[in-house]
Amino acid sequence: MSRTEGDMRNESSATLTRTEERLRDAFRGAAETIEPGTLAPLTAPRARTWKWAIPIAVAGTLSLILVGTSLLAGGTSRAPDTGSRVLSGGPQRILAIRGGHALLEDGAGHQIVRIAGNHYEAVAATNDRRVFFLAASASGGVYTFYRVELGPDGTPARPAKLPATVRLDSGLGKPESFAASPDGSQLAVVGNLDGQAEATVIDVRTGARRTWRTPSGNAISSATWSPDNRTLGFIWSPGGDRQALHLLDTRAGRLVPRVLRSTATPDGGLINIFAFDPGGRTLTAQVQGAKHGPHDDAEYQLVRLSAQTGQPTGWTARLPGDSFFVKSDPSGNRFLQIIDGRLGRVDNGAFTWTSPATDYTDAAW
Amino acid sequence: MKMGEPKHRSKPPPAGKQRIREVARVSGVESDIVGAMRPPRTSVQGHEQAGDASAALVSLFREHQLGLTRTALMIVGDRATAEDAVQDAFAEAHRRIDRLTDPDRMLPYIRASVVNRCRSVLRRRRIAFSAARVHEPPVWSAESSVILGEDRREVFLALQRLPRRQREALVLRYYLDLGEAEIADVMGIGRGTVRSTTARALAALAKHLGEQA
């Protein structure tokens, strides 16, 4: 039997958070205010006549001429630059995940070579930018991992499968759930399994795993490694309105994360994701600003924070939309971004689109 | 139907306009839809395809009008606008009936169309809001708390503090119960983006509601 609009999946309430339960209840309550049988029948308009076709065509042509003239005369376009900053600095190669494939590209989104295999969902780079790790989905929420090394001429070797898998209920589709340590010796995967949030550290060489598991199913995201390959950062809420940036010493005898700061900002914003900068003294975070007045979309920006205190250090960069990760180049001044599936970058505080394609799932450099 | 008579007659269904008229009559849909129908004139096959598509559209309307209107209500906030959005989406689909040849794609198309119309309404409303600052949609208005209850109203008020995309993702996921692929289809974004957007929306909503995500 086909599902109709508004049917709810039989989902155990035990798997829902309080927020999800309240959301479903509110939707259910609002839906019931429109009772079946009280809606008007379909009234389709009669066929269009084309008496306005010619005036509309003339007006459209005139508009095109005016816009074209304006642009040629030096008028500005609201469309962002495409490729103007390509290869103007930063790494020359980007490993991108598009349509389940891993592609080595130049900075303008031009494919150089496709890497063997498919079902890839995420990619993470190491500090030397020659070793990358790929996460691929298998059945049953299981993820496998591959190591790819670029040769001296930039040619990628065949991906080598790592002796470790991770299973997640929440999926790895969120790129911010997967990170490689700068020296390439460890991977980190954060997500939810069996109703619990967890962070798993994988030894790349042996496949050995060490997992920090929480007693709750609260959302966990934003995996990032410190430059000393020891501290794993992530965003998680231990309960209540206490979502915060956490730091976990992965070499400690007992895994106990400490809170760096709340995700809430004084002006009503919310930190969605953060990453260690290469120097280790600062973090770069993406902040979703509060909606102001009648505007329906929030403002998004990159903000630099102190790694010691979590407080802003002054540097900010505005983004055109909600990006899903913060991936710095070795200088710490350039960041890859994916917004609505489109690749962009921030260079010293200024955002630029680098490719017109809109099918990017993840990318690293 | 007589006993023993096969469910599907061997005689092919009437093509083109006659077929649409029949479906519309059986469905109780207003006859305007018939008047608006202009089957393609290229071939007999074209007539049959258009008739089948129209029949599927009518069936889709009967089956999903309520759910789609409720969905639009969650996004725009008031019933009248929600009804208009759904009516307009079906009317537009009807105008483009020649292109809707795949029945499996009709519902995703209509859903996306409804969501797009809701966006347009909100955009226009923002302009009006800027000028007059008087708009207060009923679902999250103070008056609605009598019907919905204060707890539900609080959720809707928190929803209104989310960016448009996050709000849409939550409605599609937690009201329509669509999967990632379907939400991606409706919103015109990637599956990974859906996942992240939903997770962030829940986190932001939890923050506004003062509870855990």
pLDDT band, residue A309 (cuts 50/70/90)? very high
Chain A CB contacts of B68 below 8 Å: 5
CB B163 within 8 A of CB B149: no
pLDDT in tens, A94-112: 999 998 999 999 878 889 9
Residues 91-150 of B with CB under 8 A from A: 91, 94-95, 122-123, 126, 129-130, 133, 139, 147-149
Q: How many residues does chain B have?
A: 213
Q: A215 in helix, strand or coil?
A: coil
Query: Across residues A75-92, what is the average pLDDT?
Result: 47
Would you give the DSSP letter of residue A156? B
- Residue pair B76/B89 in contact (Cβ under 8 Å)? The answer is no
**CATH class of the structural domain B136-213:** mainly alpha
- The ranges assigned to domains in chain B are 14-133, 136-213
Write down the domain spans for chain A: 94-364
- What is the distance between the alpha carbons of residues A3 and A91, in angstroms, rounded to a whole number? 48
Q: Does A323 touch chain B (CB under 8 A)?
A: no
pLDDT in tens, A222-264: 999 999 999 999 998 887 667 899 999 999 888 889 999 999 8
Measured between CA atoms, the residue of chain A closest to residue B58 is A42
Residues in chain A: 365
**DSSP helix/strand/coil, A189:** strand
Query: Which 63-82 residues of chain B touch chain A by CB within 8 A?
Result: 63-71, 73-74, 79, 82
Nearest-angstrom CA–CA distance, A117 and A357:
21
Q: Is the pTM of the predicted complex or chain greater than 0.95?
A: no
Q: Is A215's Cβ below 8 Å from some Cβ in B?
A: no
More confident residue, A88 or A285: A285
- The CATH homologous superfamily to which domain A94-364 belongs is YVTN repeat-like/Quinoprotein amine dehydrogenase (2.130.10.10)
Q: Does B90 touch chain A (CB under 8 A)?
A: yes
ipTM of the complex, rounded to two decimals: 0.73
Chain B contact set for A218 (CB, 8 A): 212-213
Return the pLDDT at A52: 60
Q: Is A8's pLDDT higher than 70?
A: no
The two three-digit tokens of residue B99, written as one number: 């292109």
Mutate one of A35, A221, A296, A337 to test the B interface: name it (highest B CB count within 10 A). Answer: A296
The residue written with tokens 């008496």 in the block is: A51
Beta carbons of A34 and B200 less than 8 Å apart: no
Contacts of A261 (CB under 8 A, 6+ apart): A244, A245, A305, A309, A310, A311
User: Contacts of residue A44 in chain B, CB cutoff 8 Å?
Assistant: 30, 32-33, 36, 90-91, 94
Q: Which residue of B has its CA nearest to A291?
A: B161
Q: What is the pLDDT of residues B28-76, one digit of tens each?
A: 443 333 333 333 444 555 556 667 778 888 888 999 999 999 999 988 8
Start-to-end C-alpha separation, chain A: 47
Q: Considering all CA atoms of chain A, what is the largest pairwise distance in Å, rounded to the nearest integer? A: 80
